[in-house]
Structure 1
Amino acid sequence: MSAPAIQAALAQMQALSTQAAGQSGAAAAPSEMQGEQGGGFAGELKASLGKINAMQQSAKQQAMSFQAGDANVALNDVMIDMQKASVAFDMGVQVRNRMVTSYKEIMGMQI
């Protein structure tokens, strides 16, 4: 996988997590996370993984609230947020798989 493709995947992950954070209302601003994480690829990857984790935790909390009988939580919102978290996680796994494959290809190159 090329660097632009990885950057595009990270941008999609960030857009998805920003959209989910805006709907759930519980996430740190991207500028705050960048200050903590540092710059560059590793920082962006770590921030994206943190956002995926936050989406999963938010969806889990929302599901637990629905199961507890909270009248402010609708089933369709729970299902949509759970699916968004699942898609974000699957995308993170695919990015990881592609990075591992790329690493193996680079390590196998002859200099």
Structure 2
Amino acid sequence: MDVKANSLYQEMQNMIGQSRLQVNEPQPLTNVNPSADDFSTMLKHAVDGVNDMQVASKTAQQNFEMGDTSLSLAEVMLTKEKASIAFEATVQVRNKVLEAYKQVMNMPV
């Protein structure tokens, strides 16, 4: 999974645009928040992608340590760094979501 800030930002902007209702548009009664399913699906795919990168990194590292001559040290390190960067990005997104949640919960009603 490639973690690119611009594409992630664009995708989030598209989701925001889709979730906004027109002034005269009636709200559907069956599904209060249809974008919640899209967001949860996107989040699951992102986390699964990061997990897949970490598993691939661990596998490459183990294969290299066992003497696999088809892998170079540079390839193993590159795979490991990609997985590390993807994980760090996921942690940062989680921190921002928690911070936003705390701010919303502290708002006076």
- Identify the match of residue 50 of structure 1 among 33, 48, 51: 48
**Any idea what the Cα deviations from partners look like across 1:30-76, whole Å, max 9, x if unmatched?**
xxxxxxxx951111011100000000000100000000000111110
1:10 CA displacement? 7.0
Counterpart check, 1:99 vs 2:97:
yes
Tell me the C-alpha RMSD between the 2 structures.
2.2
By relative contact order (CA 8 Å, sep 6+), the higher-ranking structure is 1
Q: Could you state the TM-score of these two structures normalised by the residue count of structure 2?
A: 0.67
Aligned partners of 1:99 and 1:9: how far apart in 2? 17
Would you identify which runs of 4 or more consecutive aligned residues in structure 1 move more than 4 Å? none
Q: Which runs of 5+ in 1 are unaligned?
A: 12-37
Corresponding residue of 1:40? 38
Aligned partners of 1:9 and 1:87: how far apart in 2? 20
Corresponding residue of 2:77? 79
Query: What amino acid maps onto 1:8 in structure 2?
Result: Y
Q: Which runs of 5+ in 2 are unaligned?
A: 1-5, 13-35
Q: Secondary structure at the match of 1:71?
A: coil
Larger Rg: 2
Q: Is the 8 A contact 1:10 1:48 kept in 2?
A: no
Q: Could you state the TM-score of these two structures normalised by the residue count of structure 1?
A: 0.66
